Amino acid sequence: DGGITQSPKYLFRKEGQNVTLSCEQNLNHDAMYWYRQDPGQGLRLIYYSQIVNDFQKGDIAEGYSVSREKKESFPLTVTSAQKNPTAFYLCASSIFGQGNTEAFFGQGTRLTVV
Amino acid sequence: RKEVEQDPGPFNVPEGATVAFNCTYSNSASQSFFWYRQDCRKEPKLLMSVYSSGNEDGRFTAQLNRASQYISLLIRDSKLSDSATYLCVVPPSGGSYIPTFGRGTSLIVHP
């Protein structure tokens, strides 16, 4: 079955530590996105990629980094520079094209700083 | 004006009630819109697409009002299982196609 998979589901990070969240899709989508969601809040865009080897900053990119070496994969690294990383992280993918922004989501990674 | 605005609610309604949410948007050139449903601590899932002629799927009706730049979601005969957060998605201004989400409207259906 086609879909988008995030791992791990839960992640705990110590202060000053970098962690990487995995996102893989087999939907053959060109575009992939990372969003952050805080309790009671909407989704805020961290980074997005419309094609392999290219990505762009979203609204809240500071303290995060990404790579897009393969079409299927778009990992997100939460660096020690991100001062408040505890949140629910959602990866999504879509067909990239005019007027078509239906996005498919992974199950999310809940990151907690301990 | 924000790209997408929604009343966060919560909307607290009894089973069987009809409830409607609106979502206003700023990009007058937007062509396609979506409603997503998000359950507590889960990922958003597509509920309905909204095109110029509107869309109906069972108890759910989505409509577009271009003149006033808002989309609406109507739920008839509410069920307990409809309790969730409903997010609207519009394309943002500037010609990009990055899905931009409203903060969502919380619906609580009680017995």
pLDDT tens-digit map of B54-89:
899 999 999 999 889 999 999 999 999 999 999 998
* Rounded Cα–Cα distance for residues B95 and A55 (Å): 17
pLDDT over 60 at A77, yes or no? yes
- Whether residue A55 contacts residue A48, with contact meaning beta carbons closer than 8 Å, is answered with yes
- Give the closest residue to A86 by CA, choosing from A114, A54, A49, A53: A114
pLDDT at A52: 94
Residues 32-91 of B with CB under 8 A from A: 32, 34, 41-46, 49, 87, 89, 91
Residues 27-46 of A with CB under 8 A from B: 31, 33, 35, 40-43, 45
- By CB atoms closer than 10 A (0-12, 13-18, 19+), residue A44 is middle
Write the pLDDT tens digit of every residue in B7-64.
989 999 999 999 999 999 887 777 778 999 999 989 999 999 887 778 999 999 999 9
Write the pLDDT tens digit of every residue in A15-48.
889 999 999 999 999 999 999 999 888 899 999 9
pLDDT at A15: 85
pLDDT at A95: 83
- By CB atoms closer than 10 A (0-12, 13-18, 19+), residue B103 is buried
How many residues in total does chain B contain? 111
- Give the closest residue to B79 by CA, choosing from B106, B107, B54: B107
Task: Look at the block and give the residue holding tokens 């069972």.
Answer: B58
pLDDT at B108: 97
Shortest CA distance from B101: residue in chain A: A43
pLDDT at A92: 94
Q: Which residues of B touch A97 (CB under 8 A)?
A: 97
CA distances from A11 to A7, A65, A86, B73 (A): 9, 17, 10, 35
* Rounded Cα–Cα distance for residues B89 and A104 (Å): 12
A40-44, A54-58, A79-83, B24-28: which is most confident: A54-58
Residue B73: both structure tokens together: 């979601």
pLDDT at A89: 97
Q: How confident is the model at residue A76 (pLDDT cuts 50, 70, 90)?
A: very high
pLDDT at B87: 95
Shortest CA distance from B91: residue in chain A: A101
* Rounded Cα–Cα distance for residues A36 and B11 (Å): 24
Percent pLDDT > 70 in chain A is 95
Going A80 to A113 to B84 to B2, the CA torsion angle's sign is negative
Contact between chains at A101 and B98 (C-beta distance less than 8 A): yes
